[in-house]
Amino acid sequence: MPPRRPSAPQPESKTGLVVALVFFVLLSITLGVTTYLGFDGQKDLEQKASTAAQDKKKADDAAAEARAQRLACRIMMGIDPAPRAEDLGAVNSNPAFQAELAAINAQFSSVGVGWDPKTAAPPESILVVLKKLKEAKETAESNMRQALADAQKANTDYQAKAASEEAKAKQAQAEAAKAASVAAAAQKAEQDAKMFAIADINKLRNDLKQAREQADEQIATLNVQKKRLEDSLDGAKVTIDKLKADQDARRVSILLTDVKHGEVTRVDAATDTAFINLGSADFVRPGMSFSVLQTYDRSRFSVEQPLPKKASLTIAQVLGPKLSRATIQYADDVNPTKDPVRAGDGLYKPGWKPGTPVRWALVGHFDLNGLGRDETQVLIERLKQQGIAVVAYLDLSTLEIKGDLDHSVDYVVVGTRPTLQTAQVVGQERKEAIEKAINDFVAKAQGMGIQVIQHRIFLPMFGIDLPRADVVPHFPGGPGAAGGEKKVDDEGR
């Protein structure tokens, strides 16, 4: 019997391996899917986080931009102060701030709102500008209300005037109707006369025509005679004016040089003191002054020129009825050594009458210190100290005569008149008004027979020296002063 072959080994069971493999595969798939899903969710989260960060940044930027815009508005409004020095660079470099600032400036530049980059603030805030605009609006409304009130008043005045004119017109119409009635009655009378006395009327007409022709001839003859008389009167007037001018010149010359009120009786050269033969009987008082003249050739001087004065004698003490002591003040151009005051020198004081009160009137501009301003009141006080009463003068501010210009006035002293420079300062109309007032004053005085003398030749002889240099006189009035005098200080400015 053949040997028994060993049986083949039985195959091992693979169920566990398959199960394990299947489990491994499923586990791998599950892990893969889970891993995939985990990584995919992480990307979504990262993307959402990035989006959220971007949104936050945008929100922060928008908030910063809004804060910058709000800051610009509050600074321009004047609510917040200007940025501090350490924050100035950040503010000026902020685009949102600058953009908002530019927009505000563009809107409000027309009313004066601006921005100063040096101070990081507006020179004037919107609130300040609005307050000013409100005040300007209130002022304009007030002016408008005042203008409306003025217009209503003018309308009322116009209506009153129109009513007055209408009443006058009605009265004129009534008078015209009355005249028409009278004319109609006259016409009727004329018609009646024509009907009943035509021949007489014709005769009367012829007589009237002849009378008219004769009257015309007489009028023509009288006109010829009148023309000849007017020519003769014109010639006589020219001659009279020349004689009057010569008379006035001689009168002034005689008044200023030939009327000697007294003389020097003794001189003390060591003390510059003189004694004169005038005193209490002549109403001489301390402070009064007299002039001593130099010897001169009258033909060398015109009536308008100041007389050559040697010295002024000012009364220091009244010693008796006919005796006074005076101090000597020599003129600037006189040498006291070569031409001193001597005993026997005459004493002159134009316009002064010893023992009687003297009354003057002043008209024009009087400058006593060379500053150009009018010093009429100062002159009045100085004349009062000299025993002269100024009873009338022309007020240059109102152009009215103050006081009484009557026949009791002894002299009218005329000051400086307006010049071409005066018209440049106060205007041509005001200059002409001042000239007219002065001319009317002088004409009134001349009409009353009062002596009229220029101040430049009269006051120095009276002991009141005038400035040597000519200064443009300042007359009151004009556009910029509203009728008031232009103020001049002590330096003449």
Do the domain assignments include residue 26? no
Do the domain assignments include residue 236? no
Q: Do residue 81 and residue 133 come from a single domain?
A: yes
| H or E stretch covering 403 | strand 400-403
In sequence order, which residues have a C-beta less than 8 Å from that of residue 486 and are 6 or more positions away? 425, 474, 476, 478, 480
Q: Do residue 303 and residue 372 come from a single domain?
A: no
Do the domain assignments include residue 191? no
Q: Do residue 363 and residue 419 come from a single domain?
A: yes
CA 251 to centroid of chain Cα atoms = 43
The neighbouring-strand residues paired with 262 are 347
DSSP string covering 216-277, please?
HHHHHHHHHHHHHHHHHHHHHHHHHHHHHHHHHHHHHHHHHHT---EEEEEEETTTTEEEES
Do the domain assignments include residue 391? yes
pTM comes to 0.39
Q: Do residue 263 and residue 327 come from a single domain?
A: yes
Q: Do residue 384 and residue 335 come from a single domain?
A: no
Q: Do residue 331 and residue 348 come from a single domain?
A: yes
**Domain containing residue 474: CATH number:** 3.40.50.10190
Do the domain assignments include residue 385? yes
Q: Do residue 427 and residue 332 come from a single domain?
A: no
Least-confidence region, from 43-47, 97-101, 345-349, 480-484: 480-484
Do the domain assignments include residue 2? no
* Burial classification of residue 213, based on how many CB atoms lie within 10 Å of its CB (0-12 exposed, 13-18 middle, 19 or more buried): exposed
CB atoms within 10 A of CB 391: 17
Among 323, 352, 381, give the residue marking a domain's end.
Answer: 352
pLDDT of 340: 93
Residue with token string 């009057």: 244
Q: Do residue 363 and residue 333 come from a single domain?
A: no
Span 333-343, pLDDT tens digits: 889 988 899 99
- Mean pLDDT over 265-286 rounds to 88
Q: Three-state SS for 120? A: coil
Number of domains in the chain: 3
Least-confidence region, from 64-73, 449-458, 477-486: 477-486
Span 412-448, pLDDT tens digits: 999 999 988 888 888 999 999 999 999 999 999 999 9
pLDDT at 325 > cutoff 60: yes
Contact (CB, 8 A) for 92 and 82: no
Among 330, 352, 374, give the residue marking a domain's end.
Answer: 352
pLDDT of 484: 41
Least-confidence region, from 55-64, 79-88, 93-102, 320-329: 79-88
Q: Which of 335, 300, 315 is nearest to 387 (CA)?
A: 315
**Nearest-angstrom CA–CA distance, 379 and 366:** 8
Among 149, 164, 185, give the residue marking a domain's end.
Answer: 149
The radius of gyration of the chain from alpha carbons, rounded to an integer in Å, stands at 56
Q: Do residue 335 and residue 365 come from a single domain?
A: no
**Domain containing residue 304: CATH number:** 2.40.10.410
- The token duo for 138 is 């209130």
For residue 129, give its domain range. Answer: 60-149
Q: Do residue 429 and residue 373 come from a single domain?
A: yes
